[in-house]
Chain A
């Protein structure tokens, strides 16, 4: 089993191959009852026929294969330092994440240190701004307290503001936490020192999906956000503005029908919490209690005028359209009379997991992804 780790690192960090494609390959060899080692050592013809790899992909895989021995040295060092390497096929892999992010976005490999079992527990994420108001921090503290009391794990991203409060509070109330790193796991030495006791007591799990030696970067911080949402069964929003990581994460989550609880803001607050509630998030008070008959009308006044065609409206129309055929952006704009440029729409559609990009050359054409492609066995 251990011999597979170098192979997993090689596959997981192939540049310019989408996660969805990597997972597709994994699902394929998993179903063929092959190991990743078998897959790497397949004949070229098998790669072409069994796995439908194109020339470019074969080149990428060969590149990865050439680095296997080098990765073995890396793996040895990681294991020696007490890190766990968890491929998506492992029973240790977070079932919550697999369920939330599905094949398109579940990272094929995660690196952790600490109590892996935490990933099997009920979990919540408390998300919000790096520069949150005190009331948001108070809310965060309340939620973490309740969660800890209910044996729920608090997932956070180790950023300032709400993230940090969520972690501190979970520790304060003797709860359990997952810290999702915006960097490679070996570059977190100060954190390992700071949370040493919690880690060895099994109360904190450090988790990263990035190459182990990758330093912190803005890109990784952005890429880390979906992992936080992915690891949590429920999401509590302390404070969101109308853009940024919290916003896009919540909007995306709502689209997928996830349970998202948003703190009802005071009328004096200037944030986008209300908009999220309008979009279908569940309103909660400062204690995190659901407010059942919350009237949106009451808060209409405080909401800034919204544009009529939000992403969500557009998406649902487009998906309806694409389910009956193949269209380019231009055709979609004409048919649906959307007030967007073709370029904006093309970029937007490329990011939608439910939509498949058919040809890379202009004009790019889109259609809806076929459900039967998703393998129930692994995901």
Chain B
């Protein structure tokens, strides 16, 4: 097919007149059965490079993409053009996915989008035997490189697959963000006569700012006063899920129209928010970086980071989602440079902790290896055997599979005959590379050069001469100078913001409870720790006041009949005394009849939900159950971690006829604050 012929078809099918030269170069190569790596910036039109050939081939093109939102958008837009395309992903029901697979087998589709994780699904593997495959595409190909950001273990299997594909089967890998090192890594992994096209990655419409602060509060203050002054709608990225909640509540408090989004939300809610984002429903969506990648919204006018990402390439990738329409776009990064007693900047700590905590210790690897040497084990069995968290098990699993020490067969892990020794040096190498990347991100904060120049150089881009679009060039630096009124509001917010305890379930009358604070966010955790573990005496009064405040704000209108508290494991009478004080203040009678009928271990000993649940399962009893019947109960405890204890007691009291149970605790932990490593 000549370019002319192709462009006639392009006009007819997609409505475009011409290909860019680099697009045609890639398409021509694919039509001849070649292998391509295409590095072009967001908004360039990479998708057309596989969508067009897919319409020309016999059979079905399979697109591996990690981005569900992107799959949805692209499928919709292809269908509008009359091109039969569908996607398979975890947001669809099993039946829906099965139907798509049937359509693929029956030759009804030209393009099929699929998440890389699906390569572990036997139904899919079976189906691939029967499809007429025309081309394989790896979207967001930087995720196949461990040197890239967002490396996804599921992509390991996709690389393996690509290496096994026959010659003459077209393969395309695309990414908008690859350093030279990542590029080389992808080239080496995909192998087999790969041709690379690397475009210009400069984004001229970005106005880049960095705002240095001396506290977390300063970020909240600046945003409260300035976010509504930014044009259009945009995204605010926080470093943690908890912070999405805190920032969104704060924005509510000061009247900024926003919503929070994170990967923990269910699929329907996520879809709703994505839809709202497309329709500019909010000034800003507060999110972890789970949102925005692959969303085809051309006019995201600003992206603000309250935390530095792990590297300049992460940063480039995340801000890349904004301003695809080429219009002026604000890109703002906060950095709290206040140093602690060791001279470490506050905002360096979180990304550093992710790097340090990214891999469990070698002993844990050995523990997993030893367990799997004894028998085939599933993930849950392994968690129970080793007393490790699911996240840790998954990291270890992925590493051990990568090193050829274990394999996963039908959801069970198997040790391999002749397996090599664990290569821990590899982890150190990766860790050092990541630390270096993080330091480069800090360099971005403090650079005096034009910021886009810094990013382009980091990516290995070829450079044009002029950069004028940042606070190091044409624009003035932004600083935090809040009004007194705003500061007052923040103090008020801090005293009235309480975390929710999500414990509701269908087979229990327990309701979602409330905590006076997060464990790690304020001085609450420190005070609790002193009392519980350092013989610091009773819980101090400020905790009582704060807890009562949380109670009154949330459950003030509820008619409650009885206070029940969680009987102690090791911290003696602290909770009992605390519950008595609450009873006295609220004038609700207290009961001492909730008891333990067997010994339990402190929940913090257990690293995963299965073991925590087993630890408390059937552990409690109420000595005079008739008292409970038809009562509304306030259930008091000090710290809420996995919620297993509260849920277990909720079930018990439900069985004894309690009408409602509302939990009230002093602090809720955030992702294992008090676990001992």
Which residue numbers of A lie inside 8 Å of B, CB to CB? 2-3, 5-7, 37, 40-41, 66, 68-77, 79-82, 114-115, 189, 192-193, 196, 199-202
Contacts and interface: CB of A to CB of B under 8 A. Distances in A.
Contacts of B157: 76, 80
B163 interface: yes
Contacts of A189: 409-410
Contacts of B460: none
Given A69-B165, A81-B407, A192-B409, 5 more contacts: A3-B163, A68-B166, A82-B414, A115-B417, A192-B414
B417 A202 contact: yes
A70 B163 contact: no
Contact of B166 (A3, A81, A196, A199): A3
Interface in B120-173: 125, 128-133, 136, 157, 160-161, 163-169
Contacts, number: 86
Nearest to B416: A82
B160 A79 contact: yes
Given A68-B169, A73-B161, A74-B129, A80 B407 contact: yes
A78 to B, nearest CB: 10
B393 to A, nearest CB: 19
Contact of B376 (A6, A75, A193): A193
A77 B125 contact: yes
Interface string B158-199: 001101111111000000000000000000000010000000
B471 interface: no
B417 A72 contact: no
Contacts of A73: 125, 128-129, 161
B417 A200 contact: yes
5 contacts: A7-B166, A72-B164, A73-B125, A81-B407, A200-B414
A199 B373 CA distance: 11
Main secondary structure of the interface of A (DSSP, over half): helix
Contacts of B169: 68-69
B166 A202 contact: no
Interface centre among B128, B166, B418 (most CB of A within 10 A): B166
B131 A70 contact: yes
B252 interface: no
A120 to B, nearest CB: 14
Nearest to B191: A3
Contact of A41 (B130, B167, B373, B415): B167
A115 B164 CA distance: 23
Given A70-B131, A76-B157, A196-B375, A3 B408 contact: no
A207 to B, nearest CB: 14
A200 B415 contact: yes
Given A81-B409, A115-B418, A72 B161 contact: yes
B119 interface: yes
Interface string B385-418: 0000000000000000000000111100011111
Contact of B160 (A6, A70, A80, A193): A80
B407 A82 contact: yes
Q: Of A7, A66, A76, which is in contact with the most chain B CB atoms at under 10 Å from its CB?
A: A76
A257 to B, nearest CB: 35
B163 A69 contact: no
Return the 4 tightest CB-CB contacts between A and B, nearest first.
A68-B166, A73-B128, A82-B407, A69-B133
Contacts of A72: 161, 164-166
Nearest to A41: B167
A142 to B, nearest CB: 28
Nearest to A203: B417
